[in-house]
Amino acid sequence: MKPIRTFVVIPSLPGPLARLKDLAYNLWWCWNPEAIGLFRRLDPEQWDKTYHNPVRMLGTVSQERLQAKAQDEGFLAHLERCWTSFQEYMNDRQTWYAKTYGYSDKPLIAYFSAEFGINESLPLYSGGLGMLAGDHLKSASDLGLPLVGVGLLYRVGYFQQYLTSDGQQQERYPENDFHNMAISVCRSPEGKPLTVQVALPGRPVTAQLWKIAVGRITLLLLDTDVPENQPNDRRITRELYGGDTETRIQQELLLGIGGLRALHAMNFHPTVYHMNEGHSAFLALERIAVAMERHQMTFREALELTRQSNVFTTHTPVPAGIDVFSRELMEKYFSQYFSKLGIGWKEFLDLGWQNGTPKGDGFSMAVLALNLCGYANGVSKLHGEVSRRMWGSLYPGVPANEIPIESITNGVHVRSYISQELSTLYDRYLGPRWIHSPWDHTVWQKVDQIPPEELWRTHERRRERLVAFARQRLQKQLQARGAPPSEIAHAKEVLDPETLTIGFARRFATYKRATLLFRDKERLIRILTNKDRPVQLIIAGKAHPKDEPGKNFIKEILQHCDDERIRRHITFIENYDVVVARYLVQGVDVWLNNPRRPQEASGTSGMKAAANGVLNLSILDGWWDEAYTPEVGWAIGNRDEHPDPTYQDEVEANSLYELLEKEVVPTFYDRGQDNLPRRWIAMMRACMRQLIPVFNTNRMVAEYTDRYYQPGNLRYRALSENDRARARGLARWLEEVRSCWGNVRIESVEAEGGEEHRVGENLRIKIRLYLDRLKAHDVAVEVFHGFVSASGLIDTGEAVRTQVVHEEAGRATFEGNISFASSGRMGFAVRVLPSHPDLIHPILTGHILWS
């Protein structure tokens, strides 16, 4: 029956409890243990039933209980403490950003992402990308950054997983009830809901704006499920990563173009725009279109104005992971839009076109982002190298190490993932600075002051809690599958709270090799069932609904779980999410990660484990490639990348078994008379001391700020002065460079001396150029020198800039020195690049001339 009128019913809180609503509607609570404890204390049963959703819980707690708590002096004192802490946090004007760059009350940075994983009560995420985005917002809040997040509000979010009795993954899509979540409708000063429109073929689509408070940060979300839209358009934001390619381009149009319009509707006008993966890259086009319209600029002028404050972070180490749209789809969705940019159709397509992708020739969102962003980075040092190789074809003539894709290694928001017990331990022995300055190495030196008995007992309690949680989950899973009572009863006996526990939990993509540990099953059984030194495994993870090989991995693991010989030593937990992850990273002894190198861009789950003193056992890929030392964990294999994946699996599976048998298990069970594994505890301490201050998002966000956000903000403001005079001048200069570049040539290169030189000697080089209409100051002339490889190339070298010594009638002479730091076969080449004080990176011009 269709209602003739609808209402929003809100909780009815007694006066003394009114502040609970304000606390519930700001996600600050989810990384503050005392606030979490406050909501749990209100009604522990409802806290669990509502899956830790305080907004929903406030509407389901009985009025009798609310009245009782309103007169409970202990509860009210607890509420007062939380409220005071919250107010102090929100009103702090001496944050890291304010002290470093000055306080700003308006957002200067916009952070766009297709998903945000902030808390389990807001299921708007699918995996690591979303969790990273959520942690980015939390740390931006802690550091006081003037940042606003932008994303989409999904009606069903990502799927929930359940398994059939034969191990087949099934998916269910429960709908989100926005009115029982910490989400509010954005309203105009007149109180009307704010909306924006984006043109799709033949019709406009309306998106309603919602907001989430994440500490000091506002997260804006767009929702097309509104009456103004056609039924199909209402489904655009229905499902995260759902639907077909056409749904994807619609979502990405809404995110990029609609997201910028949402900011303007809220009267937010940031100067820096950060694209977390390529999903939001259409944003760069909309920035250009807006600048053209508002400031009467040409396409080239607007491009130069906006590019220098666009940031693109790629998380994808394989070409198949990039969104690519066909020419037909681009024509369908952009045949009207591109004319706003004042360029031709081919020029428009060339902004993102790539031939020969795994998805065919098409318009690549990553290529678009790389072409329109002044800053680009991978998410670990190794991923930066992989990305430079992966996108080398976009930069012809540029050595791999000079391709303008850098790296900022990911981190995790430490307070969001450590256990309450460990948090208390850190408070006691490290003091409050571990919360405020988690990147400060001196803070973490104090972990050596934690008594080994206390650290180990804290860890053992977490393992006991994990085992209890796993047993409860397994019983519920078996009941849901209709398993016989005997099998359900058996679930109470799986795992042992005193046994060495290994966790493996992640997305079941094939490259992550979830079944590698089972490659030699008989050997694994011997390791697990050793009477004196047993081992147990807890596994969790989802496969994408369309990933049949990933689903088969899950099915295979479920079959192993049913093997009578190891049933008590291994369990699979369904529906991997934030809650499951939290229990695992806090309670296991070892975190296992064995992707096929170099396909793991970062791997933040291992960082969450390390923050809890859990030791990593991992392939040298992603973050672990730069984090590993023998004091903090174990490396599976070496850095070899075999062309034969079967052989690589064989070698690394054997290395994994060797490490378990000879290193991991003996270290865990090597106990003294006090029954403490002192070598293991020493590794836990080293893990905390060395890894936590580096692999946290406070460090990461501060690095983005120092290297990209603040320079981008200053560049944008400088180019905008005097009616964007410098941006216009830069565009004019680039047009002149383009028109002349084909005529520029190196006429001669002279080098002193013969074919032998001594270490420490300088070699003077003179270069004569023909510059056509350009001047000497319009170019940078560099000597690129280094070792010559067996192939006759300088694979990685150093560029030394020369100085102009003479200029006359379209010609110029440059001179410079290179020195030899070591012996060997050396060589040099000369190159010419455009040079301008407002040019963010000469390689982005696409012009480079080699000798």
Q: How confident is the model at residue 756 (pLDDT cuts 50, 70, 90)?
A: confident
Core vs surface per residue 595-617: b (16+ CB within 10 A) or e: bbbbbbbbbbbbbbbbbbbbbbb
Kindly report whether the global pTM for this prediction surpasses the value 0.85.
yes
> How much of the chain exceeds pLDDT 90, in percent?
88
* Arithmetic mean of pLDDT, 425-451: 95
DSSP 119: -
Q: Say what the pLDDT of residue 763 is.
A: 87
Which tokens sit at 232? 């199909």
CA 193 – CA 72 distance, rounded (Å)? 38
* Arithmetic mean of pLDDT, 259-286: 98
CA-atom Rg of the chain in angstroms: 29
Residues 6+ apart with CB under 8 A from 296: none
> Which stretch of 195-209, 231-245, 454-468, 480-494 has the lowest confidence by average pLDDT?
480-494
Helices (H) and strands (E) in the chain, counts: 33, 29
pLDDT in tens, 284-307: 999 999 999 999 999 999 999 999
Q: Say what the pLDDT of residue 9 is.
A: 56
Q: Is the pLDDT of residue 1 over 70?
A: no
Average pLDDT of the chain?
A: 95
pLDDT in tens, 567-619: 999 999 999 999 999 999 999 999 999 999 999 999 999 999 999 999 999 99
Q: How confident is the model at residue 630 (pLDDT cuts 50, 70, 90)?
A: very high
Q: Is the pLDDT of residue 8 over 70?
A: no
pLDDT in tens, 779-820: 999 999 888 888 888 878 889 999 999 999 999 999 999 888
* Arithmetic mean of pLDDT, 471-477: 93
Count of beta carbons in the 10 Å neighbourhood of residue 175: 10
Q: Is the pLDDT of residue 243 over 90?
A: no
CA 716 – CA 719 distance, rounded (Å)? 5
Core vs surface per residue 291-301: b (16+ CB within 10 A) or e: bbeeeebbbbb
Q: How confident is the model at residue 127 (pLDDT cuts 50, 70, 90)?
A: confident
Report the alpha-carbon angle 193-196-197, nearest 5: 135
Closest residue by Cα to residue 506 from 416, 412, 408, 573:
573
Q: Say what the pLDDT of residue 642 is.
A: 85
Which tokens sit at 582? 């939290």
Q: Say what the pLDDT of residue 6 is.
A: 58
Q: How confident is the model at residue 483 (pLDDT cuts 50, 70, 90)?
A: confident
Q: Is the pLDDT of residue 341 over 60?
A: yes
DSSP result, 687-755: HHHHHTTTSBHHHHHHHHIIIIIHHHHHHHHHHHHHHHHHHHHHHHHHHHHHHHHTT-EEEEEEE-S-S
* Arithmetic mean of pLDDT, 244-251: 96
CA 406 – CA 314 distance, rounded (Å)? 10
Q: Say what the pLDDT of residue 4 is.
A: 61
Q: Which residue in this structure is represented by tokens 């981190």?
A: 411
Q: Is the pLDDT of residue 320 over 90?
A: no
Query: Which strands form 745-751's sheet, in the order they lie side by side?
Result: 745-751, 762-770, 811-819, 803-808
* Arithmetic mean of pLDDT, 736-743: 96
Q: Say what the pLDDT of residue 157 is.
A: 79
β-strands 745-751, 272-276 pairing: unpaired
* Arithmetic mean of pLDDT, 484-509: 92
Q: Say what the pLDDT of residue 7 is.
A: 53
* Arithmetic mean of pLDDT, 5-23: 81
Q: Say what the pLDDT of residue 814 is.
A: 97
* Arithmetic mean of pLDDT, 631-649: 92
Q: Is the pLDDT of residue 233 over 70?
A: yes
* Residues paired with 196 in a beta bridge: 207
Q: How confident is the model at residue 150 (pLDDT cuts 50, 70, 90)?
A: very high
* Arithmetic mean of pLDDT, 420-432: 95
Q: How confident is the model at residue 10 (pLDDT cuts 50, 70, 90)?
A: low
* Arithmetic mean of pLDDT, 509-533: 95
CA 650 – CA 653 distance, rounded (Å)? 5
Contact 283, 275 (CB under 8 A): yes
Contact 114, 251 (CB under 8 A): yes
